[in-house]
Structure 1
Amino acid sequence: MKNNHQLLIILSALLLVLPCRADEWIRINQLGYLPRSIKVAVFMSEEESIVENYTLVDAFTNETVQTFHAPRPTGKSGSMKATYRLDFSDFTTPGTYYLKAGKAISPHFPINPHVYNGTADFLLNYMRQQRCGYNPFLKDSCHVHDGYIVYHPTKTGQKIDVRGGWHDATDYLQYTTTSANAIYQMMFAYQENPESFGDAYDAAGLPGANGIPDIVDEIKWGLDWLNRMNPVPGELYNQIADDRDHAGMRLPNKDEVDYGYGPGNGRPVYYCSGEPQVRGKYRNATTGVASTAGKFASCFALGAEILKEYYPELAAEIGGKAAAAYQEGVKKPGACQTASVKSPYIYEEDNWVDDMELGAMELYRMTGDGNYLNQAMEYGRREPVTPWMGADSARHYQWYPFMNMGHYHLAKAGNQRLSREFIRNMRTGIERTYEKAVESPFLHGIPYIWCSNNLTTAMLTQCRLYRQLTGDNTYAEMEAALRDWLFGCNPWGTSMIVELPLYGDYPSQPHSSLLNAGVGNTTGGLVDGPVYRSIFESLRGVNMTGIPGTPGQDYERFQPDLMVYHDALHDYSTNEPTMDGTACLTYYLSAMQKEGMEQAGIRCDHNRYVNGGIVRTDPSKKQITLVFTAADKADGADAILRTLKKHGIQGGFFFTGEFYERYPDIVKRLLDDKHYVGSHSYGHLLYMPWENRDSLLVTRQEFEQDIRKSYETMRKAGIDYKDAPVFIPPYEYYNKEIAVWAKSMGLQIINFTPGTMSNADYTTPDMGTKYRSSRFIYDKIMEVEKKEGLNGHLLLIHFGTDDRRTDKFYNGYLDKMIKTLKRKGYTFVPVREAVGI
C-alpha cells in the first residue's frame, strides 16, 4: 500500500510538470447571426499556427457549404500564439452551421432572422428579480419601512416613503444614479422598438398578461420609485442605504441590517445637498446636484410620454415635476456622488453636463421651448466626448452614464449644422475606441475597469445610433464585435448574460445572494465583465470561491495578459450582475430583434410563448391553425386530407421517424397538397418525467442526435430541414431547456393552445374519467370560442388513434368544426404564416 501510494505521488508530480497538449478554438456568438449581418468568428491557438482557409459546414448534413480564404491574422494574444478573424459575412442562407479552421471546430450556431427574438424581454427577468418592495421572484416583500432622511437641512431624521425601485446589484443599496439611467434606457428601447416587446407578466411582475408590454410595467415600477425620491419640487434624493449593507449574503426579505433605527426597520435616505457627504472616515467629492437633477428631469419628461397611454395620472404628475428638477441642476451645478461609511467603494461620478444636456433635450421635446434646446447645446459643447472613450482607465463610474444620449438627440434636432457637430462628437468617441480595438483579435477597445461590460454596451449603442444617423458603416465590424463579445466571441468563450443562451456557456456562478441561498440564478443579468488584473488583485474580499461543492471557473488557460474574468460566486469584480447594465442592453437587443423581423418581412411578433415554445399566434387576429401529430398511426389520413381539401385549408403535420419510414406514400400526398410537413422527433422520446417538468430524461447530446436523425429521415422524403423550421415535441411535452436546445439548432418549438381539449382526441374508453368523446371535444371547443374566442389558436388533432377509440374526431366532427368556425368568421392559416417563421 505504501509503495503504491508513493507511485501515485510520483505520477501526479510528473503530470504537473508535463506540458498540456496545445489546443485550438473558434469563438462565436452563441446566439447565432442574422442572415444579413456582419458575421466574424475568432480562431485562437496555443501554438504557432498558419490558417490559410476555413470552412462553413451544415450541422445537419455535415456538408461544407462554403470555403473561405485568407483569414485576417491578428497576432498573439495572451497565451494564444496565433489568432485570426474568420469573416463569413457574405454567407446569408438560413440554417444551422459550424466553422472549421486548423484543428478547431466551433460549436454549431443558427443563422436566421429570429435569433434575437425575445432576448430584450429575457433581460427583464433580472429586473423583476431586483425589485425592492414586493419581489415577484421571491413572492415576498422587503424593505417596506424605508426610510429616514439624512443630510437635509430641516428634515433629517424624518420618515419618508421611498418603497419600490430596484436593488442595484447583489447588495440592496438603491441609487438614483443607476436607477434613473436604467429607467431612461428602457424607455428609449421601448420608444424606438415597441414591436420587440411582449406581454407575459402583470404589473406586479407575476406571470400573466395584463395588456401592457412587460417593459412598460418595469418602467412604471421604476418611475413610481423615482417619483417618491422627489416628493415635492426641489427636494431630490440620491441614495437609499449605504455600505453598512455589506453584512454578508442574505435574501432581501431577510435583511436585518441595523442603521440605527432597529434591525430591518428602515434605512437612511440621502438628500441631494450639493455638498460632500461623509458618515465614517470616507468622504465623497460631491460638488453639486446637477448630475442627479438632470437624470430626474430626463426620466420625468420622457416618462410622461411613455406612460400617458397606460397611466395618464402618473404621466401628468411626473411631467409636471421635470422642469423643477432640471432647475435644481441649474441652481447647483456639479456632480452628486454616492456615499459610503465603511469602505472606499462608491460611484465616483464627476461629470454632470451630459445629464443636464439630456434633461434639457427631453424638456425641449416635451415642451417645444427653444430655450431648452439652446441650453442642451451649450451643455453638450462642454463635454463633446465622454472621457472614458479611448482612455486606458477610469475611476469607478467616473464618467456616467457611459454614453451621452443627449448628443444623439441633438444630432436629430433638425438643424443641419448642429447635427454635423454632434454626429462628429459621436464619431470621435467611436474612433478613439476603434483605435484601441484594432489591437485586439476581438476588436474590443474597452478599458477593463470595473463594469467593463457596461462600457461595452454603451459603445455598442453609440455605434448603432451613429450608423443609423449617418449610414456610415466604417465602424460596423467593431459594433458586431462588441455585440458578439457579450455572447461568447471573447477569450473565454462565454456569454456575459446569465442563461442567455441557456444552451451555451454563460455565468453559472454569478455573485448573487439568490444563488448562494439556493433559490435560483440571476436569469437575464449582465455581469460586470473582465477587469484589469491589477484591479482584481487590489480589491477587498474578492476571491475564487465558488458555490459550496462546486469550484469557481478561473478560465486560467484563456486569461489575457492584463485582464481577468472568472465565473466564481465570490468574484464580485467580474461576475456580479448589475441592474443598470442589464437595462441598458434592452435597446440594442430590441433593435436586433426588429432588424431580424425586417429581414423576415414581419412587422411584429405577436405570438404567445410558454417556456420558449409558441402556444398561440396573434391573438388580435381571428385566425386558427390546424396541426396534426403522429408517432406510428395514420388511420385518419384519408378523412383528414379529404376534409382539408374540401375547405381549402393547409394544415401542419408533424411526424416521428417511424412514421416517415412506415408511410412514405402519405407523406408524399401531403407534400403534393402543399401542407407543411415537419418533425415530431425521430424516436418519440419522453424528454421529462410527467411528475417533474423541470427535470430531464435526455441529455442535450441525445436530443440533438434524435433531431438530426429525424431530419435525415425527412430529407430522404424530400424535406430539407430549412423548409421545416418549426416542430412539435413528442407527447406535446417540453420545457425551457428543450426549447433552447431546439433554438440552437435553428428550430422553433410550437405546441397546441391549451384550453379546448382538442388534443384529447387520442383518449380511449378504458381510460375512464380521462376519456373524452368527439362530441365532448367539439362542445368544449365551441364553449371556449363563445367565452373567450379562438383567435390565434393552434388546434391539435391526432393523425391516427388507437383502434380502441372507434369515435374518431376526424370522421365528421373535424368537418363540422371547420364549417362552424368559418361561419363565425375565422380563417384557417398555414402554420408558418401564422407563426411568422
Structure 2
Amino acid sequence: MNTAGGAGAQISPNLAGRLAADFAQCYQVFKTSNPTYANQCLVSAEHIFDLANTTPSSLLTVAPNSFYPETEWRDDLELGATEIYFALQPGNLPGGLPHTDPMFYLTAAANWANAYIHGPNDAADTLNLYDVSGLAHYELYRAIGLAGASGLAVTQADLLSDLNKQLSKAVTQAGTDPFGFGFPWATYDTTSHGAGLAVMASEYTFLSGTNTYTDFGTRWLANILGTNAWGTSLIVGDGSTFPDCMQHQVANLAGSLNGSPPVLLGAAVEGPNSFAAKGTLTGMRTCPQNGADVFAQFNNTKAVYKDFVPSFFTVEPAIDLTASSPLAFAWQIAGAPSGTP
C-alpha cells in the first residue's frame, strides 16, 4: 500500500479512499459497543485519507500492476470522504483527529465526485471491485441531504444523473442479451457486475422515487442466480445448481465436490468469461471427478462457462467479487433504508 515506506509516505489513492471508508464505517459500527476500538478506527481513517497521493502516475493494486490494472481512483476518495463525514456528523468525537469539521469531508467528497463525473472514466463502468462510484454517489447524495448543504462542487441532481447515465448504458447492453443481462458475459467479473447493477437499480429507485430501473435490477440479480444461458447460479449455495469445482484451495481440498455440505456458502465466482483456463497443481483434487463439461453445450463463440477447478477465469471466488452481493440481497430483503444515514 505504501510503496515508498516509512511514516508519512503517500498512499495510492484507490487504496486510501477505500481504507478510509472502511475505518470510518468501523467507527460508526463500534462507537457504542467498543468506543476505544472505534476511536482508533476514526483516527486511522482521517490519517489515511490525508496521505492519499492525489497525483498518481499509476495505482497500486498488486505487483505487477498489470495483473489487476485499476485506473480509476476519484470515486474511492469520494466514498472515503463521505463515510468520514457520516462518522463526524453526530459529534462527540475522540481526540487526536486531524479534522473535526464534518463539512471539511463533505466538501472533499463533492470535489472528488465532480472530478469523477468530469474525468476520463465517468460511466465507463458500474459498481464492482474496480469502480465504487455507484455506491459513493448514493452515499454522497444522502450526506448532502443530511447536511442541507448548498454551494458544493456537485448537487444531488448531478449525482442522480450520473447514476442514471451508468444504468442507462446497462439497459442498452441488456437489450443485446437474450436474458437481458446488463453487462457482457464474455468479460471478467460478470457476477460482481450483476450484483452491483442490482444494487444501483435499488439505489436509484430509492433516491428518485421512480421505478425506472426496478424491474431491470430484479432481472440482473436473477441473471447471476440462474437466469442465464447456462442455467446456473454463480453464487455458491444459492439455488440447486451452483459451482461445485471452484478454483479455491480450501474448498477444493476440504469441501465437497458435488454441492453437498460442506461448501463455501455465499461465495461469488468470476462467472462466464471469454475463456476457461486449463492446468493443474500438485495435490489439486480433480473436479468434476468424471471430467464432464456439462455447460459446454450452452457456450457460444464469445462467452463460455466451465465449472472446472483449474478455471480461475470462470469459477474462482474472491472476497472482492462477492462484496456487492450481500448488499444486493440486503436491498431485496430490507427494502429502503430507514433512519438517519
Q: What band does the TM-score fall into relative to the shorter chain?
A: 0.7 to 0.9
Deviation at 1:375, TM superposition (A): 1.8
CA distance in 1 between counterparts of 2:194 and 2:52 reads: 29
2:328 equivalent in structure 1? 588
1:473 equivalent in structure 2? 211
CA distance in 2 between counterparts of 1:492 and 1:310 reads: 46
1:549–1:581 distance in 2 versus 1, CA, 3 Å: closer
1:552–1:567: 8 Å Cα contact kept in structure 2? no
Instruction: Please list the CA deviations of residues 605-626 of structure 1 after superposition, one character each: whole Å capped at 9, or x if unmatched.
Output: xxxxxxxxxxxxxxxxxxxxxx
2:288–2:309: 8 Å Cα contact kept in structure 1? no
- Map 1:72-111 to 2 at 5 A: none
CA distance in 1 between counterparts of 2:45 and 2:15 reads: 12
Determine whether 1:526 maps to 2:268.
Answer: yes
1:552–1:568: 8 Å Cα contact kept in structure 2? no
Q: Provide the TM-score with structure 1 as the length reference.
A: 0.34
CA distance in 1 between counterparts of 2:280 and 2:168 reads: 34
Determine whether 1:400 maps to 2:138.
Answer: no
Q: 2:252 aligns with which of 516, 530, 533?
A: 516
- Map 1:415-454 to 2 at 5 A: 418-447=155-184, 448-454=186-192
Instruction: Please list the CA deviations of residues 528-573 of structure 1 after superposition, one character each: whole Å capped at 9, or x if unmatched.
Output: 10112xxx16x67489x95273325341221133101111111110
Q: 1:307 aligns with which of 7, 11, 30?
A: 30
CA distance in 2 between counterparts of 1:474 and 1:432 reads: 13
Determine whether 1:366 maps to 2:87.
Answer: yes
Q: 2:115 aligns with which of 369, 372, 382?
A: 382
Deviation at 1:309, TM superposition (A): 2.8
AA at the equivalent of 2:218: A
Q: Provide the TM-score with structure 2 as the length reference.
A: 0.79
Deviation at 1:386, TM superposition (A): 3.8
1:310–1:326 distance in 2 versus 1, CA, 3 Å: same
Unaligned regions of 5+ residues in structure 2, if any?
90-101, 257-262, 337-341
- Aligned to 1:329, what secondary structure does the other structure show? coil
1:361–1:406: 8 Å Cα contact kept in structure 2? yes
Deviation at 1:509, TM superposition (A): 1.4
CA distance in 2 between counterparts of 1:334 and 1:357 reads: 19
- Map 1:102-251 to 2 at 5 A: 151-153=3-5, 234=8
CA distance in 2 between counterparts of 1:150 and 1:367 reads: 26
1:497–1:507: 8 Å Cα contact kept in structure 2? yes
AA at the equivalent of 1:527: V
CA distance in 1 between counterparts of 2:245 and 2:72 reads: 34
CA distance in 1 between counterparts of 2:2 and 2:14 reads: 19
Instruction: Please list the CA deviations of residues 51-88 of structure 1 after superposition, one character each: whole Å capped at 9, or x if unmatched.
Output: xxxxxxxxxxxxxxxxxxxxxxxxxxxxxxxxxxxxxx
1:328–1:540 distance in 2 versus 1, CA, 3 Å: farther
CA distance in 2 between counterparts of 1:358 and 1:419 reads: 15
1:298 equivalent in structure 2? 21
1:402–1:458: 8 Å Cα contact kept in structure 2? no
1:402–1:454: 8 Å Cα contact kept in structure 2? no
CA distance in 2 between counterparts of 1:403 and 1:376 reads: 11
CA distance in 2 between counterparts of 1:294 and 1:150 reads: 13
2:235–2:266: 8 Å Cα contact kept in structure 1? yes
Unaligned regions of 5+ residues in structure 1, if any?
1-148, 155-231, 236-272, 275-288, 391-396, 597-837
2:140 equivalent in structure 1? 410
CA distance in 1 between counterparts of 2:5 and 2:295 reads: 51
AA at the equivalent of 1:509: C
1:497–1:506: 8 Å Cα contact kept in structure 2? yes
CA distance in 1 between counterparts of 2:58 and 2:22 reads: 18
Deviation at 1:595, TM superposition (A): 4.2
CA distance in 1 between counterparts of 2:299 and 2:291 reads: 17
- Map 1:209-358 to 2 at 5 A: 234=8, 289-329=12-52, 333=56, 335-340=58-63, 346-358=67-79
1:346–1:310 distance in 2 versus 1, CA, 3 Å: farther
Determine whether 1:507 maps to 2:243.
Answer: yes
Q: Structure 1 or 2: larger strand share?
A: 1
1:646 equivalent in structure 2? none
- Aligned to 1:563, what secondary structure does the other structure show? coil
- Aligned to 1:524, what secondary structure does the other structure show? coil
CA distance in 2 between counterparts of 1:353 and 1:334 reads: 14
1:541–1:345 distance in 2 versus 1, CA, 3 Å: farther
Give the number of aligned pairs. Answer: 303
1:150–1:485 distance in 2 versus 1, CA, 3 Å: closer
1:152–1:379 distance in 2 versus 1, CA, 3 Å: closer
Deviation at 1:388, TM superposition (A): 2.3
Instruction: Please list the CA deviations of residues 613-662 of structure 1 after superposition, one character each: whole Å capped at 9, or x if unmatched.
Output: xxxxxxxxxxxxxxxxxxxxxxxxxxxxxxxxxxxxxxxxxxxxxxxxxx
Determine whether 1:567 maps to 2:307.
Answer: yes
2:75–2:132: 8 Å Cα contact kept in structure 1? no
1:542–1:572: 8 Å Cα contact kept in structure 2? no
Q: 1:486 aligns with which of 198, 206, 224?
A: 224
2:232–2:241: 8 Å Cα contact kept in structure 1? yes
AA at the equivalent of 1:594: A
2:27–2:41: 8 Å Cα contact kept in structure 1? yes
Deviation at 1:406, TM superposition (A): 1.7
Deviation at 1:150, TM superposition (A): 9.1
2:271–2:314: 8 Å Cα contact kept in structure 1? yes
CA distance in 2 between counterparts of 1:463 and 1:546 reads: 39
1:529–1:575: 8 Å Cα contact kept in structure 2? yes
2:247–2:310: 8 Å Cα contact kept in structure 1? yes
- Map 1:781-792 to 2 at 5 A: none
Deviation at 1:591, TM superposition (A): 2.2
1:329–1:432 distance in 2 versus 1, CA, 3 Å: same
- Map 1:607-626 to 2 at 5 A: none
Deviation at 1:403, TM superposition (A): 4.5
Instruction: Please list the CA deviations of residues 240-291 of structure 1 after superposition, one character each: whole Å capped at 9, or x if unmatched.
Output: xxxxxxxxxxxxxxxxxxxxxxxxxxxxxxxxx66xxxxxxxxxxxxxx111
2:76–2:133: 8 Å Cα contact kept in structure 1? no
1:66 equivalent in structure 2? none
1:378–1:151 distance in 2 versus 1, CA, 3 Å: closer
2:183–2:194: 8 Å Cα contact kept in structure 1? yes
Deviation at 1:345, TM superposition (A): 5.7
CA distance in 2 between counterparts of 1:324 and 1:357 reads: 16
CA distance in 1 between counterparts of 2:270 and 2:109 reads: 31
CA distance in 2 between counterparts of 1:496 and 1:299 reads: 26
2:93 equivalent in structure 1? none
CA distance in 2 between counterparts of 1:523 and 1:555 reads: 21
User: Identity, % of aligned pairs?
Assistant: 23
1:453–1:380 distance in 2 versus 1, CA, 3 Å: same
1:355–1:552 distance in 2 versus 1, CA, 3 Å: farther
Deviation at 1:316, TM superposition (A): 0.7
2:259 equivalent in structure 1? none
| CA-atom RMSD in angstroms | 2.9
AA at the equivalent of 2:75: D
1:460–1:410 distance in 2 versus 1, CA, 3 Å: same
- Map 1:698-777 to 2 at 5 A: none
- Aligned to 1:568, what secondary structure does the other structure show? coil
Deviation at 1:418, TM superposition (A): 0.9
AA at the equivalent of 1:354: D
